Structure 1
């Protein structure tokens, strides 16, 4: 399996690319600011063809180049997002503060404008399973994933889990980082929901799971359970 990250030019967002191997279809996860050209080069190097774009949530730093990336495949491929974050793809800058908008204009110029994706597919929603939803399967680009709804950072935040060649992988978006967790104080955030997601969803993933976060370096579930202060302070999984 190929697993590569392209770092965005703003906010340090990781855009992940996953494929069964060179010359295959691939998944593009969270294409943020300024990733179009380096992503094009990566896809060309490994002869990859985007089959779908996945969004862990609808914040602009995770979806800003969704539309050009989806269109790069010829006939536009779909972006997949949780129904509760679908509204964010109509205007992901709507919740940005004036200061952040000014920063983006200075970096990218005043001509930078949002284009809503041509095709949007709402991710399947799992049935309630206690305080959180049950995971649901998703197959794309020849890969079998499970989608876990993890509200807290946004209403429709999700993580994607799948098997890798050397063990399980978790695309954790802005739920879990190396040594930290995502914010819950932005528009649509919910501290109580974030605590529930951290406490009741993360126990589903084995210690050997490699975490591919939305920002920062990779980590493992074992490392985060042992050292992440936001996890060690929780009563995780009822323990």
Structure 2
């Protein structure tokens, strides 16, 4: 797999461009900001962007959706319960000084349980609410190693914040428990902030997971 991480915007959000090594089709996960940078890489690689996948609709994960979708023609897959946020982004930006961001009407919705076949990849959509009401994680379980694009559910030695509207700590921990139960320790976690990690590393050392792991 060829996975390229772009840390973008004032909140330092991670966007991911992924494809099979050398493939001409690619996917983009959570284009949060800096559309010219993302589009420049897509153009430089000469790839056809087949879809934009959103884990959730906080502004730092969707700020570049509209310009990237318009420029590439790629359809947007949005968590069903958060479509209204994508359609009216600035109404949901809680702090001054961010944006302006352009809203977008997504072409597809997901809610967990779907299997997507895009750009030659098989992607499981896993419902992982808690940080946001309808957050999802995208899993490429058939790869070696398996990959998770976890948005703001799980980080290196941390977890997603639950002090935002619609968030809930117990729900978030239940979502993380689902990921730990379903996927192997070598699964590489591509989070929405900070660096890459693995489920095994977080199971063993993440202090926020002690209530799940008994450590």
TM over 0.5: yes
The reply to whether residue 228 of structure 1 matches residue 215 of structure 2 is no
Aligned to 1:37: 36
The reply to whether residue 22 of structure 1 matches residue 9 of structure 2 is no
Residue of 84, 101, 108 corresponding to 1:87? 84
Give per-residue Cα distances to partners, 1:176-204, cap 9 Å, x unaligned. 00110101110111222112112233321
Q: How does 1:1-239 map to 2 (within 5 A)?
A: 1-34=1-34, 36-73=35-72, 76-97=73-94, 100-102=95-97, 104=98, 112-123=99-110, 125-126=111-112, 135-163=113-141, 166-235=144-213
Q: Alpha carbons of 1:49 and 1:72: their partners in 2 closer, same or farther (altered >3 Å)?
A: same
Instruction: Determine if contact 2:54/2:61 at 8 Å carries over to the other structure.
Output: yes
Give the TM-score normalised by structure 2.
Answer: 0.92
**CA–CA distance in structure 1, aligned partners of residues 96 and 28 of structure 2:** 25
**CA–CA distance in structure 2, aligned partners of residues 163 and 205 of structure 1:** 8
Please provide the CA RMSD for this pair.
Answer: 1.9
**CA–CA distance in structure 1, aligned partners of residues 191 and 204 of structure 2:** 17
Shift of 1:38: 1.7
Give the TM-score normalised by structure 1.
Answer: 0.83
Aligned to 1:132: none
Shift of 1:119: 4.0
- 4+ residue segments displaced more than 4 Å: none
Aligned-partner SS, 2:9: coil
Q: Alpha carbons of 1:153 and 1:44: their partners in 2 closer, same or farther (altered >3 Å)?
A: same
Please say which structure displays the higher CA radius of gyration.
Answer: 1
Q: How many residues align?
A: 215
